[in-house]
Amino acid sequence: MIEAAGGVVENEKGDFLFIYRNHKWDLPKGKLEKGEKKKTGAVREVEEECGIKVNSIGKKICITYHTYKSKGEVILKRTHWYQMTFKGEGELKPQLEEGITKVLWFKREQTAPIVKNTFPSIIDVLVKLELLKDTATPL
């Protein structure tokens, strides 16, 4: 099992940060480094993948699990999700070497395209944070 952490970042306008990676909408997250604390890793991953500086990290949202294949082996990833804030007008920069081609802010009511093209674990995070009423309807 791989331990990972990530964040749902909200800006001063109430918009939420999403990344586009490997033809799917996603939230910034990644593998924790050896000995790294979950909150520290979550902030590091958001900053690396999106090119922004996180202003604060809030409460833990939830933990999700998903599997993927790497070198013919099935990997289980446990991801710890945190609320984060960003203040400012910094330029978003996708981490291209991680397969991220877009980093965009979305208003709560604009999440329909994300819901249609994301992973079940991301839907779980959005529901827990009450960005979605259920698995099909944006708030």
Burial of 135 (0-12, 13-18, 19+ CB in 10 A): exposed
Report pLDDT digits (tens) over 73-124.
999 999 999 999 999 877 899 999 999 999 999 998 888 889 999 999 999 9
Report pLDDT digits (tens) over 41-79.
999 999 999 999 999 999 999 999 999 888 999 999 999
The predicted pLDDT at position 109 comes to 87
Task: Quote the pTM value.
Answer: 0.91
CA distance 137 to 80: 24
Q: List the domains of the chain with CATH numbers.
A: 2-108 (3.90.79.10)
The closest alpha carbon to 93, from 103, 81, 106, 85, belongs to 103
